[in-house]
Amino acid sequence: MDQYSSSFVDTSLDLTIGVTRMRVEEDSSPANALVDELNRVSAENKKLSEMLTLMCENYNVLRKQLMEYVNKSNTTERDQTSPTKKRKSPARDEAFSSAIIGGVSESSSTDQDDQYLCKKQREETVMKEKVSRVYYKTEASDTTLVVKDGYQWRKYGQKVTRDNPSPRAYFKCACAPSCSVKKKVQRSVEDQSVLVATYEGEHNHPMPSQIDSNAGLNRYISVGGSAPSAATAKKSSSSSLAEPVTTIDLTESKKPMSPTSRIDFPEVHKLLVEQMASSLTKDPNFTAALAAAVTGRLYQQNQTEK
DNA sequence: CGCGTTTGACCAGCGC
DNA sequence: GCGCTGGTCAAACGCG
């Protein structure tokens, strides 16, 4: 944890603003006083903007640290758990073949061992690059295995697995026929109120409903992964009450995220900044507290300079 | 009647 | 080879 202690970020709000003292001459005209007041307010505004920028930068640093921490946790967790046995599925091969278009083909090899190795590597590659897991908080009484992630899904199967008494539902992306993204949804063994959605593959199309990104950003914490975008569907065939609370990326790859499959971080950052600024300025308590702090500070400065 | 969901049957990988 | 298991298919069903 040295890296975190060394890069400590002070997130406390510094309300010490270097506003120039209000120079209102006793014998000056009201117009000059207004101009001075305007200049003072402008300076305050500028200072507050700088503070907000600083806050956002601090947020960015903290978010980066969180990502590093989560990735670290995932790596150690992955090392401890043995890889799940999974048979090869045609869809997976299809996904891989599309992924290696233009690359070096290994199909020329006729050796069975090589083919086996290639198949294994293929599966591992697919697993690393395409699989992500999302946890959705929902009502424990809600028995529907439906989650709200902005895409339309078609359910094609349900199965009770051995390791979990809750049934597992299988979904295919219904937004585009060519999209081979699949999703498995199952209740967590530990917490029945948590839905675990496992996404396989990457959407090759934009989200059907570019919705209310603010609502999606409210509670979605994305840390890597590839499939789901942070959004909430206005209406989908599988409309859900469950909302995503966190994403744990099972992949180790640091490849850039697809613009079609998720919102880029700068975009998220921008939206978050806007949302933060909006919520702060709309909050009467915050503005009142800020005004009190500023006026108090000004009063204090005036007192010390007298 | 069309579309989506349900559910039992089937398929394929893996361990013994 | 056989059984277990996860994943997929497709006919039946329900709903608007």
Residue A172 (CA) to nucleotide B2 (C1'), in angstroms, measures 20
Compute CA distances A305 → A21, A42, A298, whole Å.
Answer: 9, 22, 11
Which one-letter DSSP state was computed for residue A101?
T
Q: Dump pLDDT digits (tens) for A40-60.
A: 878 887 777 777 767 756 666
Whether residue A71 lies inside any domain: the answer is: no
Residue A89 (CA) to nucleotide C12 (C1'), in angstroms, measures 26
Whether residue A28 lies inside any domain: the answer is: no
Whether residue A189 lies inside any domain: the answer is: yes
> Domain range holding A198?
131-206
Per-residue confidence (pLDDT) for residue A126, from 0 to 100: 43
Which residue places its CA closest to the C1' of nucleotide C4? A162
The answer to whether A162 CB sits below 7 Å from nucleic acid chain B is: no
Whether residue A273 lies inside any domain: the answer is: no
Q: Dump pLDDT digits (tens) for A242-265.
A: 555 544 444 433 333 333 333 334
Whether residue A179 lies inside any domain: the answer is: yes
The answer to whether A85 CB sits below 7 Å from nucleic acid chain B is: yes
| Nearest nucleotide to A89, CA against C1' atoms | C7
Q: Dump pLDDT digits (tens) for A122-161.
A: 444 444 446 777 787 776 666 677 776 777 888 888 888 8
Q: Would the pLDDT of A207 be above 50?
A: yes
Total domains, chain A: 1
The answer to whether A240 CB sits below 7 Å from nucleic acid chain B is: no
Whether residue A188 lies inside any domain: the answer is: yes
- Within 13 Å and on the Cβ side, how many CA atoms surround A295? 6
Share of chain A above pLDDT 90, in %: 0
Structure tokens at A273: 């900044």
The answer to whether A88 CB sits below 7 Å from nucleic acid chain B is: yes
**Where is pLDDT greater, at A61 or A47?**
A47
Residue A238 (CA) to nucleotide C15 (C1'), in angstroms, measures 15
Strand partners, A167: A160
Lowest-confidence pick of A24-28, A52-56, A232-236:
A232-236
User: DSSP string covering A108-146, please?
Assistant: T---HHHHHHHHHHHHHHHHHHHEEEEEEE--TT-----
Whether residue A301 lies inside any domain: the answer is: no
Q: How confident is the model at residue A101 (pLDDT cuts 50, 70, 90)?
A: very low
Q: What is the CATH number of the domain that holds A189?
A: 2.20.25.80
Per-residue confidence (pLDDT) for residue A292, from 0 to 100: 63
Question: Which range is most confident: A17-26, A83-92, A184-193?
Answer: A184-193
CB less than 7 Å from strand C: which protein residues?
A 86-87, 89-91, 156-157, 159, 161-163, 168, 170, 182, 184
Average pLDDT, chain A: 57
Whether residue A139 lies inside any domain: the answer is: yes
